[in-house]
Amino acid sequence: MSDESLLLEIVHALEEQGLARDEYQLQRVIDVEALEQLVDSTSPHTELEIRFSVGEFRVLVMDSEVTVTI
């Protein structure tokens, strides 16, 4: 991941798709601290993919990026 926290990367990716911060409560969807620990615990050669939904948006967290699709 980048130097930015995983939480901020997820929030920014959701906002880029047009979802305002007051339209969701991420902590009700996923435990971000646990997700960060999981991502941080993988080796550089691990192909990590974690998927979850926030409303109609699908979030994909990989070892190097966060993407959001509808």
Q: Provide the 8-state DSSP code for 42.
A: S
Q: How confident is the model at residue 13, as a pLDDT?
A: 94
Q: How confident is the model at residue 1, as a pLDDT?
A: 53
State the average pLDDT over residues 1-16: 83
Q: What is the C-alpha to C-alpha distance for residues 66 and 13, in angstroms, rounded to an integer?
A: 7
pLDDT band at 39 (very low <50, low <70, confident <90, very high): confident
State the average pLDDT over residues 50-55: 92
Beta carbons of 53 and 10 less than 8 angstroms apart: no
pLDDT band at 58 (very low <50, low <70, confident <90, very high): very high
State the average pLDDT over residues 30-54: 87
Residue 17 predicted with pLDDT over 70? yes
